[in-house]
Amino acid sequence: MGDNGPTLDPTEALADIQTLVSVALRSDDMTAVQRDLEMILTIVEMVLPPKKRFQSRNDLC
């Protein structure tokens, strides 16, 4: 996703993240949990300003 990608309202983003986390916590399907985590990361990347984003997912480790 580039720096000029779509953005979300932070409040809407938090509501979406809350829903995804709730579903993931109740799921026994690890594929679905991973998909939800990827969706959460995408939402966060859409909301955070470019200077606040990690350069890659490896920066998290």
Query: Which tens digit of pLDDT belongs to each residue from 9-50?
Result: 889 999 999 999 999 999 999 999 999 999 999 998 888 877
4-11 long-range contacts (CB < 8 A, ≥24 apart) are 5/45, 5/46, 6/46, 7/46, 7/47, 8/43, 8/46, 8/47, 10/47
Q: CA 55 to CA 18: how far, in whole Å?
A: 24
Higher pLDDT, 57 or 36: 36
| Contact criterion met (CB below 8 Å) for 8 and 46 | yes
